[in-house]
Structure 1
């Protein structure tokens, strides 16, 4: 069984294209300044179409995490155990990412992380590393 991979939509294509260049980008409304937690066609605050894609400094804090000990499918078994975290980025958006070495005791709620990129079947996906 093959691993599920992300699929770009019209709204998320700029995000995935920037990942291929090892850049992390996020949306901010040019009208009201709101940062989008999830890429969309309209601003979630004022419904403006005037959204900009900005480069992130790729730093954030772990909001919460889980360590996976039982693989959801055979394609994940070789990576057990692994950690998945929700990361609140310094710019105000949120990512769900795997954490390198995250199954170790170093990962905690509030841990500062840096976002890098990992190639999975030809697609660059963000992943986090604890920096403290």
Structure 2
């Protein structure tokens, strides 16, 4: 299953191909947002740009997805709501973390972006623990 790329989010997927995590920025008022959209939620301007994020954040919340099956994914799947250092929240697939138990993901834990290269045209962000960040 591939994401739908349109004129509102093309910059994001162009960035992931270059292994950059891009956030939409309103050129009128400077507010950052994700997911992207056609107009600024703060000032209503249609003047959009982007910034390259540091690619680090803190787990605000998370869940372990057991069902239904997701095409191309092995379940269970750890999904986090991540507070990026830039102040934007993003839904994040977390890799390399047991789905449950004492070594499972924790709220407040630090994550860093990594890249899942699907093919020459599609690279997706995937998130991993920052060593030493366990609470």
TM-score, normalized by the shorter chain, greater than 0.5: yes
Q: 1:27 to 1:69 in 2, by over 3 A?
A: same
Give 1:49 shift: 2.0
From 95, 100, 106, the counterpart of 2:95? 100
Q: Superposed, which structure 2 residues align to 1:71-82 within 5 Å?
A: 71-73=68-70, 75-76=72-73, 79-82=74-77
Deviations 1:30-72 (A, max 9, x none): 2222111321221110011222211100011111111123452
Q: 1:32 to 1:109 in 2, by over 3 A?
A: same
Aligned Cα root-mean-square deviation (Å):
1.8
Gaps of 5+ in 2: none
Deviations 1:94-127 (A, max 9, x none): 2212101232524111111101110235521111
How many residues are matched? 127
| TM-score of the pair, normalised by structure 1 | 0.85
Residue 57 of structure 1 corresponds to 54
From 9, 14, 27, the counterpart of 1:12? 9
| TM-score of the pair, normalised by structure 2 | 0.83
How far apart, CA to CA, are the structure 1 residues paired with 2:43 and 2:72? 42
Higher helix proportion (structure 1 or 2)? 1
Query: What is the SS of the residue equivalent to 2:107?
Result: coil
Give the 4+ runs in structure 1 shifted more than 4 A. Answer: none
From 19, 37, 43, the counterpart of 1:46? 43
